[in-house]
Amino acid sequence: MASHLVSLIFWSLVAAGAAWWYGGWTAALAMVALVSWGWVLQQLWRAHRLEVWLRAGQVANQPVLKGLWRDLADRMRRLLQQRDQQVQVHADRLQHFLQAIQASPNGVTLLDKEGRIEWCNDTAALHLGIDSHRDHLQHVVHMVRDPVFSRYFTQDKHDGEVVIEGRSPTLTKSVKLSVQLHRYGDGQQLLLTRDITAVHQAEIMRRDFVANVSHEIRTPLTVLSGFVETLQSLPLDPDEQHHFLDLMAVQASRMQTLVSDLLILSQLEGSPLPGKGEPVALAPLTLQVRDDALALSALQDPESTGPVHTLVLEPVPDWCLSGSRNELLSAMSNLANNAVRYTPAGGTIRIAWSRTEDDQVVFSVKDTGPGIAPEHLPRLSERFYRVDRSRSRETGGTGLGLAITKHVVQRHGGQLRIDSEPGRGSTFMLSFPASRLVAKSL
């Protein structure tokens, strides 16, 4: 700054001296004033250019200035660059933070002091059926029309969470959401949502499972208790005692079968998946399934001297299937034994292996039984689910056979398929991926 003033004074004196030489003191003073005003106008013009540049905010378009103004422009450019760098750093951090919230499996909604929606991630939009752009600054109670949520929102404290109905993509599927509000900042609120549909369903299944197990065990226990009380209190002849003991043995066997099936289910759910080590030959395995089914068929009619069904075993390919032999035998036997139990005497049961066009290996059991209505098919593999409870008790089933079968086939990478129609019989199929097939001769 001092150098600029010295330069101004020097050139003013030079110009004043020249003017004095030609026109005297009046000309000298006029020249000094003219030079001073010229210098002032020049500085104002440079200040204007600097102001225009700063207002535009374009750091790269720095004006070409000289002297003091160039120094000022250089310093301001450096400050603006530092500011832009800091702004970019904060913007990147904010973007990463928003990306992290978007990736969260939980819904996050930011509300202002009045409870209006300021921002939400995609998960919250899906849970609550809102749109972050369309519903911006809409009151959350107006968008989430649930009485439980409305009461919860108006409370003074939100120490716990509440469960409300979420937006479901279909009419048949129920969605349960856990919702909780947290205050932050200057009166703003953070609304967190979590999909607990699976947890809710698991809790329902647990309650149903306990209730079903209790019911299944209570019935034979009641019968056993009644027989024991009868034997203890009444004088019975040997034939009557023998008859009661036979009935007690049947009920004890029923409980033993139920406990055995429960243990099998527990082992399947808690054990590692079967590998692809020792191959299991299909021919002897299927012959054992057929022989067991024939023996069960003979027991369906105590007065019969042999099986009461016609069992047809299609030729079994010379294949091996990698997996657990005991699990495969259990699953196959469950299908064959169910066909025997639910097919009336004189019916036909056909057992076969095949390979489909989509490269699946299929074990099928087809019967000529009464068939199953379509509404029951999706639930047949549920534990203790029965189409006809009275009929199931006559056949002696535990209601766990198809649940075990489904677990086994899924553990081997396959699936259980059921085709049935009332009056036309049923076909139960275990479909395995061809990658588990080991062919001795293709």
Residue where one domain finishes, among candidates 195, 220, 248: 195
Distance CA 194, CA 326 (A): 41
Tens-binned pLDDT, residue by residue, of the chain (442 aa): 455 556 656 656 666 666 666 666 666 666 666 666 666 676 677 777 767 766 766 666 666 666 666 667 677 777 777 777 888 888 888 888 888 888 888 999 999 999 999 999 999 998 888 888 899 999 999 888 889 999 999 888 888 888 888 877 665 677 889 999 999 888 899 999 999 888 887 787 777 777 777 777 777 788 888 878 888 887 878 888 888 788 888 778 778 877 877 787 777 776 777 776 678 899 999 999 999 899 888 887 767 777 889 999 999 988 898 888 888 998 999 999 999 988 998 899 999 999 888 889 999 999 998 988 888 888 888 777 776 655 444 555 567 888 888 988 998 889 999 999 888 899 999 999 988 887 654 4
Instruction: Say if residue 86 is in the same domain as residue 156.
Output: no
Q: Are residue 23 and residue 88 in the same domain, yes or no?
A: yes
265 and 283 within one domain? no
Strand stretches in 271-425, DSSP E:
279-281, 310-313, 319-322, 348-355, 360-367, 415-420
| Greatest distance between any 2 Cα atoms in the chain | 160
Which residue carries 């009868």 as its tokens? 230
CA-nearest of 127, 109, 129, 128 to 117 is: 109
Tell me the CATH number at 255: 1.10.287.130
287 and 411 in a single domain? The answer is yes
d(CA 50, CA 61): 11
Same domain flag for 308 and 422: yes
C-alpha 164: how far from its chain's center? 18
Task: Specify whether 229 is located in the same domain as 172.
Answer: no
Number of structural domains, the chain? 4
Please tell me whether residues 167 and 118 are part of one structural domain.
Answer: yes
Domain boundary among 98, 129, 147: 98
| Distances from the Cα of 203 to the Cα of 30, 208, 440, angstroms | 100, 9, 47
Question: What is the CATH number for 426?
Answer: 3.30.565.10
Quick one: 119 and 135 in the same domain?
Answer: yes
301 & 246 share domain: no
Pairing of strands 279-281, 176-184: unpaired
Q: In this structure, what CATH number is given to the domain that contains residue 170?
A: 3.30.450.20
264 and 279 housed in the same domain: no
Q: Say which DSSP state 382 is in.
A: S
Sign of CA dihedral 271, 411, 266, 250: negative
Domain check: are 292 and 344 in the same one?
yes
Residues 178 and 54 in one domain: no
Q: How far is it, in rounded angstroms, from Cα 320 to Cα 353? A: 12
Instruction: Give the end of a domain, one of 195, 215, 234.
Output: 195
Which domain covers residue 114, as residue numbers? 105-195
